[in-house]
Amino acid sequence: MNDFADALAKPSATKKALPEELWQALQSLLENRCTRASAVCQHHGSDESSYPSMLPDAVVFAHSTEEVAAIVKLCHHYAVPVIPYGAGSSLEGHILALHGGISLDLSQMNQIVAIHQEDLTATVQAGVTRKQINLEIKDSGLFFPVDPGADASLGGMAATRASGTNAVRYGTMRENVLALTVVTADGSIIKTGTRAKKSSAGYDLTRVFVGSEGTLGVITEVTVKLYPLPEAIAVAVCSFPSAFDAVNSVIQSIQMGIPLARVEFLDENSVRAINAYDKLSLPEKPLLLFEFHGSATGVKEQTELVQEIATSNGADHFEWASQPEQRSRLWAARHNAYFALLQLRPGASAITTDCCVPISRLAECIIETQLDCERHQILYSLIGHVGDGNFHVLMLIDPNNPIEVANAEGVNARMVSRAIAMDGTCTGEHGVGMHKMAFLIEEHGSAAIHMMRTLKQAFDPLNILNPGKMIAWDEA
């Protein structure tokens, strides 16, 4: 788990050459939308994780569910792996071709299928991104709230059960996906769910595929909930003496029933990085970034209550940003944090990780993780969607220094074990991919993992759908 070379040795040994008959069939089906060009394969064999590139044998670009079905059917016939690809923004090795095969790029499936304003729903192809859908519906008075930071595709967001800054108010993809169109491992097309707000009809296959990370089927269309744009929006920024004081302010605000729309925690390293990257002048102390939605009166009441709570916990430098351009600048800085943080140590690689705990244990988990990083002299930053108990750690290391790599992976392992001991989870947002497979047994137990493996083997008996991710194919 801590040694990337060992983790990759077995998959590379089992990689097989792409059958020429399959390549000819794909060319016949897609013409110029399939390629074995090294630059394209390199792009599709890399993500935002700390793993080295693992290239597919070919990349294909689909335009419809029917094309995806035909591609998967061909790959099923030749028992060749298929790795669904959206925006390439995954953090745990989700899109890497451990066993070679075909990278199935869905980014050109970017059509809005239908918008039902009266029902507050939209159906889109899997390649539509979160920014694209909000641009399409901006004049309708509606918006799609799930915001993982990156301009991810909705198909990828559904596959990884993404969430983000708005989750404390609007929920994650789990709560916001109503229905899916999915291509199964043998190339069949199925539809799960409907636009109805609830159903008691049969197994909930929609929830099975949401969060399956491309290991059970290829999502080609997604039906999601939309929400009315709030009448008033206000953003507040405040600094605290310590992480403990900041997180306590969030806990008390939630316990008071204040309907926070967003609340982000940044430690002092994060603030220093975004100050430099985005030319801001925030105090370089632990910081909370709040956002409130509602009526003008309601927002005013919420902000006054939160300011009172924050002040009682030692907050200072309490500033409001009610103008759209001010709000946009602050949230742009927050979303650029990953790239800003990389500038703290030029030339270093980033090992990123996350966990999620009950909010009552959040301050304890954050502080112990910070102390662990400092004990091992790791340059790190910590950012949290603290309203739902989720936080992210980015550790900057020299990938060629085995001691630094081992120290960072040790911090990750201890953080996850700490979170699980607190009745939390090994990942609140990033997903499992390759990096967190080993932690699933610790979190769920071997019997539950056996059931997950049985599900994988039933849905994908040839193990062609994103193999080597989420669940090991064989018992350990």
CATH fold of 112-228: 3.30.465
Length of the chain: 476
* The CATH number of domain 4-108, selected from 3.40.50.300, 3.20.20.150, 3.30.43.10, 3.60.15.10: 3.30.43.10
Model confidence at 336, pLDDT cuts 50, 70, 90, reads confident
pLDDT of 2 higher than 50: no
Average pLDDT over residues 314-328: 80
Question: pLDDT tens digit string along 281-296?
Answer: 889 999 999 999 999 9
Average pLDDT over residues 344-350: 88
* Distance between CA atoms of residues 309 and 4, nearest Å: 45
* Distance between CA atoms of residues 42 and 59, nearest Å: 10
* Distance between CA atoms of residues 56 and 46, nearest Å: 10
pLDDT of 14 higher than 60: no
Considering 6-15, 71-80, 299-308, 324-333, the range whose residues carry the highest mean pLDDT is 71-80
In percent, the amount of the chain with pLDDT more than 70 equals 96
Token pair recorded at residue 371 = 């102390």
- pLDDT, residue 185, reads 98
* Distance between CA atoms of residues 88 and 150, nearest Å: 10
* Distance between CA atoms of residues 155 and 165, nearest Å: 19
- Specify the DSSP class assigned to residue 283: -
Q: Is the alpha carbon torsion for 62, 66, 69, 71 positive or negative?
A: negative
* Distance between CA atoms of residues 396 and 407, nearest Å: 11
Assess contact for 64 and 80: CB atoms under 8 A.
Answer: no
The position carrying tokens 């060629």 is: 400
* Distance between CA atoms of residues 470 and 436, nearest Å: 8
- Provide long-range contacts, Cβ within 8 A and 24+ apart, for 79-83: 79/462, 79/464, 80/16, 80/18, 80/19, 80/22, 80/464, 81/464, 81/465, 81/466, 81/467, 82/218, 82/464, 82/465, 82/466, 83/44, 83/56, 83/214, 83/466
Residue spans in the chain of domains classed CATH 3.30.70.2190: 232-338
Looking at the DSSP bridge assignments, the partners of residue 60 are 34, 104
pLDDT, greater one: 7 or 296: 296
Model confidence at 7, pLDDT cuts 50, 70, 90, reads very low
pLDDT of 168 higher than 50: yes
Q: What are phi and psi of 294, to 5 degrees?
A: 150, -160
Assess contact for 267 and 243: CB atoms under 8 A.
Answer: yes
114's enclosing H/E stretch is strand 112-116
pLDDT of 3 higher than 80: no
Q: What are phi and psi of 213, to 5 degrees?
A: 60, 35
Q: Are strands 102-105 and 58-61 parallel, antiparallel or unpaired?
A: parallel
Helix, strand, coil percentages (3-state) for the chain, rounded to 5, are: 40, 20, 35
Cα–Cα nearest to 369, from 426, 412, 428? 412
C-beta neighbour count of 414 within 10 angstroms: 13
pLDDT of 13 higher than 50: no
pLDDT of 212 higher than 60: yes
DSSP 24-82: HHHHHHHGGGEE--HHHHHHHT--SSSSPP---SEEEE--SHHHHHHHHHHHHHHT--E
- pLDDT, residue 1, reads 40
Question: pLDDT tens digit string along 429-468?
Answer: 989 999 999 999 999 999 999 999 999 999 999 999 999 9
Question: pLDDT tens digit string along 402-412?
Answer: 999 999 999 99
Token pair recorded at residue 409 = 């992976």
Question: pLDDT tens digit string along 220-247?
Answer: 999 999 999 999 998 989 999 999 999 9
Type of residue at 127: G
- Specify the DSSP class assigned to residue 196: S
- Specify the DSSP class assigned to residue 388: G
Average pLDDT over residues 81-106: 94
Question: pLDDT tens digit string along 352-393?
Answer: 999 999 999 999 999 999 999 999 999 999 998 888 999 999
Type of residue at 325: E
Type of residue at 230: P
Average pLDDT over residues 51-59: 94
* Distance between CA atoms of residues 245 and 314, nearest Å: 7
What is the SS3 assignment for 207? helix
**What CATH number belongs to 232-338?**
3.30.70.2190
* Distance between CA atoms of residues 23 and 21, nearest Å: 5
- pLDDT, residue 320, reads 80
- pLDDT, residue 322, reads 66
Average pLDDT over residues 135-143: 94
Assess contact for 215 and 440: CB atoms under 8 A.
Answer: no
In percent, the amount of the chain with pLDDT more than 90 equals 78
C-beta neighbour count of 316 within 10 angstroms: 12
pLDDT, greater one: 47 or 113: 113
Model confidence at 476, pLDDT cuts 50, 70, 90, reads low
* Distance between CA atoms of residues 68 and 33, nearest Å: 12
- pLDDT, residue 76, reads 98
Cα–Cα nearest to 103, from 47, 39, 60? 60
What is the rounded average pLDDT for all residues in the chain?
A: 92
DSSP 425-453: BS-SSS--TTTTHHHHHHHH-HHHHHHHH
Model confidence at 335, pLDDT cuts 50, 70, 90, reads confident
Residue spans in the chain of domains classed CATH 3.30.43.10: 4-108
CATH fold of 345-440: Alpha-Beta Plaits (3.30.70)
Cα–Cα nearest to 106, from 87, 121, 127? 127
